[in-house]
Structure 1
C-alpha cells in the first residue's frame, strides 16, 4: 500500500481555490480586525430597538458582522481540513471559533429586545416598506413570540441549558466509551473485538454465522445495560416534555416541528402513508430472501449484499462526465454553472496525508461554494460527487438570487437538491447499462436507499412519536415497555417473510438520533421530496425543471413547506411520498425481471 501524497504533491488543478475567499493570511488578519471593530459598534444599539430606523440599522450591522465572521470561519476551517496536522491552521480554526462565540454573545440582545415590543408594534414593523429585506425575520419573531418567556424566565432557562444536555452526554459516554463489546469471529475465523464501526462490516459478511454472532453479541451488550439506557432515554423524553410545557406548545412533537414551521400533518402523513406502502417493503424483503436462497430471513441478513460487488472502476474525470450526463434533464442553465464548478476551483478532489475524511459542501455568501471530496475510483465516489455538487448548486443559486439573510435554507430542505442529483444519475445509469449483473447491483443499491432512508427512518420517527405520547399521558417508559413497542414496530414494518429476532427489541438503545428528538423524519421527507421532483422532471420536462430551479433559487426566503409547495411538492399531502413509492415499486419490478434474466 503506497503512502498518501503530501498536500504539496497534489496537482493545483485538483485542489480548491481558497484564494477566491482570501488572497492570503494577511487578508484574513485584516478582515479579522475589521470584524472586531464592527462588533464593538453593536453596543450602540442595545436598549434602543424600538423603531424601524434603529432596527434596520442594527440588522444591517448584524448582517455585516455575520457575513464577515462566516467568511473567516469557513476559510480557517477549510484550510485546517486540507491538513489537520498543520499547527498553523489548527490555531487559525480555534481563533475563528472563539470569535464566533464572542459575536454570538454580543448579538444575543437583539431578538429579546424586539420581542419585548407588543404584537401590534411587531405587525407595524412587518408592514413597514423600509424593513422589506427583513420581513421574513420579523415574521419569524412574531411567530415565536407566544413561546418566548419574560427576561428573567429566559435567563433561568438558559442556565438549565447545560443540565438539559445531560441525557445526550451520558448516552454518548456510555455508548462510545464505557460499553465494552465482546470478541466475535470474523470471516477468517479470527477473534476480533466488536465495535460500532465493525458491526456493519460483520453484517455484510457472506458468512451467515459471522453475521448472526455479531448481531447477538451487539444486542446482548445493550440488554445487559437496559435499565441505565432506558433511564437515559426517559430523561431525554422528560426534558422535551418540560420544555414544551414551559414554552406553551401542545406537545413535544409540535415544539420540535415549530423551529422550521412544519405542520404536525407533515409528520403524521409520512407515517400514515408509509403504513399504506408497507406491502412494497414486504415484497422487497421477500425478494431478498429468495435471492439469498434462505428458508428464513433474519434481521442480521438485511445488509449482506445481494450481488457480488461489481467492479466498476470510475476515474474522477469519468465520474464528472457521467454526472453531467445524469443531470442533463435539468437544462443548460444548470449545466453551465455546474461546469463552472468543475473548471474553476470549487472542488478539492483527492485524499492527501492529514486531510479530513468524508465529503461536504460548504462556503460563505458572496463567494462560490466549495466541495471537499476524498475521491476513490468507484461507484460510491461518483454518487458522492453528484450529491455534494447538488448541495453546492443549491447554495450557489440561493446566494445569487437572495439577500444574505434570506439565502440560508433550512435542514428540512438541505438534502433535497443533493438526493435529486443522485436520483437522476441513477436513472441515467439504469437506462444505459446492458449488463444484467451491473443492473442488479445498481437496483439493489437504490432499493436499499429506500429501505434505510424512507422506511427505517419513518419507523424511528413513529417510535419517537409513540414514546413521547405515552409519557405525555403519564405512562412509565420501562425497559420492557420500550422493547415491546420497538419489537412490534419491527414486525409491522418487515412483514411475514422476515423472522424478526427477539434481540432486535434492544435496538432502540443504540440509536444516537433518539437524543436529537423528532429529527430523523427529515431524512424520509427529504428523500421523498427529491424522488418526487426527479419523477416530475423526467416525466414533464421543462415546466417541472423551471419549478425545481425556482426551488433552488429560493434559499430560506420563505417557510420550507411553502418553498417546496410553490415548486410542486406539497409535503403536507401524501402525494410526494406516494410518488416516491411508485419509483420504489418500479425498482422492485425491475429487480424481479433482472433476477429472471440472470437465472435464464
Structure 2
C-alpha cells in the first residue's frame, strides 16, 4: 500500500517562507507586557465621562481613544496571526481569546462616547469644530456620528451591547474551530494513485483535476463530511443571523440589510440592483455551462465539473519565486512605485506562504496601523495560487497606501471597497497573461481563467448574497430555518443560477455550511460590486496609462476619509448604477464568444 502523503508541520516549513510576526512582538512576554499597559491606559477613559461638550476635553479623549485602539489593534493582530499559524496551538488560541475578550471590555468603557456626543445641544459639536483648531481633523468623523443619531442607544444600552459583543461573535468562532481544527476528511487517491489526506487547503487543487474521478472523490469526500455536522452548522449560522437581526432591531433599523449598509451611507438599492442585474443576466451563466459541457465532451455536467479548466495544458508546478516575478510583470502598468512596495512586502516577510498542519485554510490580508501588512496564503503551485498572491497583495498594498496617507482614524477602508484593489490586481494579471500568450491552447486556458474569475467573483458571490437575503428575511419574519431548510434554499439557488444543463448534485446542498463569509453579514455582494469597479479601473489603467494610475492611487490613498460610494465616484466609478456590473457581464460574453469561435461551437 502506498504511503499516505502527510502535510508538513509548522516546524518543518523553512523560516524564509513564513511571515515575520516577531516584528510585532519577539515573544509572548513582550505581548503580555503591552497587554498590561493597555489595561492601565484604558482606566483613563472614565475621566472624560460628561466632559465631551468642551472642545479641549473632546480632543484629549479622541487622542486617548486612538492610543488605546492602536495598541489593542497591534496586540490583536499578533494574537490572531499566531493562532492561525496552527489552530490547534492552545497557547496562541488563549492569547487570541484574551485580547478579543478584552477588546469587548474596551468597547464597553468607550460606549459613553457616541451617546454623549449625541446628547449635546444641537450645534454644540459644530461650534467646537470651529473654535478648536486641532479638532478639524475629526470633522468628517464627528459629523458622521451626528448622522447616525437615530441608531445610537443610551449610554447604559451601549455599554451592554459592547459587553455582549464577544458572545454575539461566538457563532463565527464555533464555525471556525469546527471547520479548521476539529473536522477531518477522507483520504483519497490523487491522479497517480497516491493516498492523500483531503483538507480544505488542498481541496481547491483536487476539484480542478483533469481526472474526473479525483474531483468527484474530493467533492463527495468534502461535502459528505460537512453533511455529518449539518445540524451543528445550521445552529451556528442561524444563531449568527439571529444575533445580527437582534442588533439591527435594537439599533432601530428597519431590517438587518439596512443595519449593514446604512452606516457606510450605501443605499439599499445598490444591494437590490446587484442581485436584480445578475438575475436578469443568468442566461450568460447558463450559456457558459452549456459551452463548458461541450468543450469537456460530457454527456452530463455535474457540480464537481465546474472548476476544471476547459482547455488541456501541460501540468504546471509554479514555484513561488516564479509566481512573484509573474505578478510583478502583470502589475507593471501600475508603475515603479507600486512595484517597489510589492517587492518590499516580499523581502520584509509580509507573507506566510505554504500550508502546514493546523494552519487556517484559505487566504487573507491582515495587519494594523502600527504593523506592516500581513498575508496568509496556502500556496499550492497552481496558476490560481499566483492569482491569489496578486489578490491578497492588492489588499495589503491598499492598506499600505491608506495607512501612509491617512491619519489613524481614516486609515481603514470600508468593506464596500475592500475587494476593489485586490481584484484590480487580478484583472491586470489575467489581461497580461492572455496578451503575452502565443500558444493557442494556453491562451484559451487563460481566457477560461478570466471567465472563471467572473463566474466565481460575480455570479457565485451574488448567489451567496441572494442566499443571505432570503435567510435573513425568513428569520426576520419569524420563520425558523433548519439544516434541511437551508439546504433546500441552497439547492434551489444552484438550479436557478446554473440552468437546465447542470446536474445539481445533492452533495452541493450542504455547501452553505462551508462559507465563512456568511458570518460577516451582507459582505459577499461586495465581491461582485468590487469586481465590477475593479474591471472599470483595470480597463482605464490599460487604456489611459499614467493619468488613470494617478486617479487609481488617489482611491488607494483615500481610506475612509469619505463614504465609499463617494470615494469610488471621485475616481470615476459610479456603483449606484448597474453599468459597472453590466460592463463586466459584457466582458464575460466577449470571452465566451472567443471560446466558441476558437473551438467552432
TM (norm. structure 2) is 0.81
Contact 1:387 1:422 in 2 (8 A): yes
Give 2:501's aligned residue. Answer: 497
1:143 corresponds in structure 2 to 147
Higher alpha-carbon deviation: 360-369 or 443-452: 360-369
Deviation of 1:43 after TM superposition, in Å, equals: 3.3
User: Conserved in 1, the CA contact under 8 Å of 2:201 and 2:378?
Assistant: no
SS of residue matched to 1:446: helix
1:19-34 aligned at under 5 Å gives the runs none
For residue 101 of structure 1, report the CA deviation from its aligned partner.
5.8
CA deviation profile, 1:539-580 (whole Å, cap 9, x unmatched): 232332222111001011111221111111221111221222
Q: Are residue 274 (structure 1) and residue 278 (structure 2) matched?
A: yes
The residue number in structure 2 matching 1:393 is 397
Asked if the contact 1:220/1:503 (under 8 Å) is kept, the reply is yes
Deviation at 1:361, TM superposition (A): 3.8
> CA–CA distance in 1 between the matches of 2:232 and 2:101?
36
| Aligned position for 2:443 | 439
Q: Does residue 1:406 correspond to 2:410, yes or no? A: yes
2:521 corresponds to: 517
Tell me the residue number matched to 1:41.
44
**Shift of residue 525, structure 1, vs aligned partner:** 1.8
1:58 aligned onto 2:68: no
Quick one: which of 434, 449, 452 aligns to 2:453?
449
Which residue is equivalent to 2:579? 575
Q: Does 522-531 or 303-312 show the bigger shift? A: 303-312
**What is the alpha-carbon distance in structure 1 between the residues aligned to residue 523 and residue 459 of structure 2?**
15
Shift of 1:323: 2.1
**Match in the other structure for 1:252:** 256
Q: CA deviation at 1:415?
A: 2.0
- Evaluate the alpha carbon distance shift between residue 107 and residue 324 of structure 1 in structure 2; reply closer, same or farther with a 3 A threshold: same
Of the candidates 443, 462, 465, which is equivalent to residue 461 of structure 1?
465
Q: Distance in 2 between matches of 1:423 and 1:150?
A: 46
Instruction: Report how far residue 587 of structure 1 moved.
Output: 2.6
Q: Secondary structure at the match of 2:522?
A: coil
- Which residue in the other structure is 2:294 paired with? 290
CA distance in structure 2 between the aligned counterparts of 1:219 and 1:373, rounded to whole angstroms: 23
- Supply the RMSD in Å over aligned alpha carbons: 4.6
Provide structure 1 residue ranges, at least 5 long, that are not aligned to the other structure: none
Work out the CA distance in 1 between the residues paired with 2:229 and 2:22. Answer: 52
Q: 490-499 vs 303-312, which deviates more? A: 303-312
Counterpart secondary structure, 1:391: helix
How far 1:51 moved relative to its partner? 1.9
**Partner residue in 1 for 2:308:** 304
CA contact (8 A) 2:115 2:153 kept: no
Q: Could you tell me which residue of structure 2 aligns to residue 116 of structure 1?
A: 119
Q: Across the two proteins, how many residue pairs are aligned to each other?
A: 594
Q: Flag the 1:370–1:239 CA change in 2: closer, same or farther, 3 A.
A: closer
Q: Rate the CA distance shift 1:575–1:112 in 2: closer, same or farther, 3 A.
A: same
Distance 1:429 1:148 in 2: 50
Tell me, what secondary structure is at the counterpart of 1:543?
Answer: helix
Q: Corresponding residue for 1:331?
A: 335
Name the SS of the counterpart of 1:439 in structure 2: helix
Distance 1:181 1:6 in 2: 23
What is the match of residue 564 of structure 2? 560
What's the offset of the Cα at 1:137? 2.1
Q: 1:179 to 1:446 in 2, by over 3 A?
A: same
Native 8 Å contact 1:7 1:83 kept in 2: no
Q: CA deviation at 1:254?
A: 0.9
Report the Cα distance in structure 1 between the residues aligned to 2:235 and 2:81, rounded to whole angstroms: 40
Cα distance change, pair 66–184 in 1 and its aligned pair in 2 (3 A): closer
| 1:262 positional shift | 1.9
Task: Give the equivalent residue in structure 2 for 1:424.
Answer: 428
Retained in 1: the 8 A contact 2:391–2:426? yes
Q: Hey, what's the Cα distance between the residues in 2 that align with 1:94 and 1:154?
A: 22
- Using the TM superposition, give the Cα deviation of residue 99 of structure 1 relative to its aligned residue in structure 2, in angstroms: 6.7
Q: In 2 relative to 1, CA 349–240 (structure 1 residues): closer, same or farther, beyond 3 Å?
A: closer
Distance apart, 1:64 and its partner CA: 2.4
**In 2 relative to 1, CA 118–38 (structure 1 residues): closer, same or farther, beyond 3 Å?**
same
Query: Aligned in 2, Cα 1:242/1:107: closer, same or farther, shift over 3 Å?
Result: closer
Between 1:145-154 and 1:100-109, the stretch displaced more is 100-109
What is the aligned partner in structure 2 of residue 539 from structure 1?
543
Q: TM (normalized to structure 1)?
A: 0.81
Return the offset for 1:56: 0.7
Summarize the Cα distance change of 1:510–1:24 in structure 2 as closer, same or farther, 3 Å threshold.
Answer: closer
The offset of 1:426, in angstroms, is 1.1
User: Could you tell me which of 577, 588, 591 is aligned with 2:595?
Assistant: 591
Which shows bigger deviation, 267-276 or 495-504?
495-504
Extract unaligned runs of 5+ from structure 2. none
2-structure distance, mates of 1:522, 1:94:
29
Q: Answer whether contact 1:310 1:441 (CA < 8 A) is retained.
A: no
Residues 1:340 and 1:181: Cα distance change in structure 2 (over 3 Å): closer
